[in-house]
């Protein structure tokens, strides 16, 4: 998950340099873990257990409680993917689980067991603590693990769920390979992720201006190069044989969320926690207007991609 609280508007004028050099895989792993170790407590105190966007209707115009919008995002994503259409999943993998909010909601919804993985030891420990305290009694397990080399056997989970974690994966092909590998035959893979726009016919890459914008965001959020929803479709369908692969653009549906995050950061409790959380969290706050700018310009898309693993 890749959200962080914002600084007040007075600080938003700060500029970070664009750094074209990409971090190595080890640098990304260390940076991601440190980023979420530092920022997750701030987010939980202000926003609660769900560390992802909220859903505000197809056009983003539905006024609602923002924490309810985050729960609605889970339910609407599952409904869109068809997870409710047939036999409900009994085993769920939450890839990039944060502090376990989605895992707990899905486990309740389907009376399922769930496993969550994250690179952040702080998140894994907090997710387990909250789940145990809420009475899941061993049905939910959380651990530190790399999504590009998951410690699970083939065909282990009925639903493989990734909510805003694919952005952090430096090797998207290996990421989709692992999601597919651990998904059980007949099971479903669902990826919800920030993506860059699909390339137009005749385009080989984004424009230098678009790449510069994304590069500045990457530095703050420990992201590698972005991909498009079309890239995910190609990997799921053509490389790894998932069927019924489809995608949706929900950029409009989430557009109310970032302004709400900005407003929440102005509360004294949030601001104090943000200032105490360290430079990596502050740096993420400073570049948040670039995320909003990228969405408005059509460079950044909030995409859903799903597919089903064929029966054996």
Domain residue ranges in the chain:
9-308
Section 1-6 average pLDDT? 39
Q: What is the mean pLDDT of the chain?
A: 88
Residues facing residue 115 across a β-bridge: 93, 141
DSSP label at residue 228: B
Which pLDDT score, from 0 to 100, does residue 87 have? 87
Q: What is the pLDDT of residues 283-312, one digit of tens each?
A: 556 677 888 899 999 999 999 999 999 997
Q: Which two tokens stand for residue 123?
A: 């998140």
Contact between residue 285 and residue 274 where contact means Cβ atoms under 8 Å apart: yes
Cβ proximity of 53 and 254 under 8 Å: yes
Cα 68 to Cα 129, 146, 197, 266, distances in angstroms:
22, 30, 28, 21
Whether the Cβ atoms of residue 113 and residue 140 lie closer than 8 Å to each other: yes
Q: Confidence band (pLDDT; 50, 70, 90) for 86?
A: confident
Spatial contact of 236 and 189, defined as CB atoms under 8 Å apart: yes
CA–CA separation, 274 and 48 (whole Å): 15
Dihedral sign for Cα atoms in the order 42, 43, 44, 48: positive
- Alpha-carbon distance values, 211 to 18, 19, 148, 227 (Å): 10, 11, 25, 11
Give the fold, CATH level 3, of 9-308: Rossmann fold (3.40.50)
User: What's the confidence (pLDDT) of residue 20?
Assistant: 41
- Taking the C-alpha atoms of residue 63 and residue 277, their distance in angstroms, rounded to an integer, is 31
Contacts 24+ apart (CB under 8 A), 205-214: 206/299, 210/299, 212/18, 213/290, 213/293, 213/294, 213/297, 213/299, 214/294, 214/299, 214/300
pLDDT for the residue 1: 45
Mean pLDDT score, 188-197:
98
When pLDDT is cut at 50, 70 and 90, the band that residue 258 belongs to is confident
Residue 93 has pLDDT above 80, yes or no: yes
Q: Which of 16-20, 35-39, 40-44, 138-142 has the highest mean pLDDT?
A: 138-142
Question: pLDDT value at position 289?
Answer: 83
In the predicted structure, residue 11 carries a pLDDT above the cut 50: no
Does residue 117 have a pLDDT over 70? yes
Q: Report the pLDDT value the prediction gives residue 312, as an integer from 0 to 100.
A: 78
Block residue for tokens 């893979």: 189
Q: Which residue has the higher pLDDT, 268 or 292?
A: 292
DSSP letter assigned to residue 237: I
| DSSP β-bridge partners for residue 248 | 304
């Amino acid at each position: 998950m890749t959200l962080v609280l914002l600084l007040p508007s007075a600080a938003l004028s700060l500029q970070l340099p664009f750094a074209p050099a990409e971090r190595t895989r080890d640098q990304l792993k260390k940076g991601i873990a440190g980023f979420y170790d530092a920022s997750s407590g701030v987010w939980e105190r202000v926003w609660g257990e769900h560390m992802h966007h909220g859903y505000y209707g197809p056009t983003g115009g539905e006024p609602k409680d923002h924490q309810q919008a985050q729960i609605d995002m889970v339910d609407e994503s599952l409904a869109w993917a068809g997870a409710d259409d047939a036999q409900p999943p009994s085993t769920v993998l939450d890839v990039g689980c944060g502090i376990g909010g989605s895992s707990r909601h899905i486990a309740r919804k389907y009376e399922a067991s769930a496993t969550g993985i994250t690179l952040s030891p702080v998140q894994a420990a907090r997710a387990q603590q909250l789940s145990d305290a809420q009475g899941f009694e061993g049905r939910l397990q959380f651990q530190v693990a790399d999504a590009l080399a998951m410690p699970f056997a083939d065909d282990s989970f009925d639903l493989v769920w990734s909510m805003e974690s694919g952005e952090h994966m430096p090797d998207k092909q290996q990421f989709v390979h692992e999601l597919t590998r651990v998904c059980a035959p007949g099971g479903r893979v669902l990826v919800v992720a920030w993506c860059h726009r699909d390339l137009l016919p005749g385009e080989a890459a984004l424009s230098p201006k678009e790449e510069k914008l994304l590069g500045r965001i990457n530095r703050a959020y420990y992201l590698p190069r972005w991909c498009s929803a079309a890239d995910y479709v190609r990997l799921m369908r053509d490389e790894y044989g998932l069927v019924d692969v489809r995608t949706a653009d929900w950029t409009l549906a989430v557009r109310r969320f970032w302004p709400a995050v900005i407003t929440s950061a102005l509360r004294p409790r949030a601001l104090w926690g943000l200032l105490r959380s360290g430079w990596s969290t502050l740096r993420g706050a400073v570049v948040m207007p670039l995320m909003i700018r990228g969405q408005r310009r059509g460079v950044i898309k909030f995409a859903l991609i799903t597919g089903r693993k064929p029966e054996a």
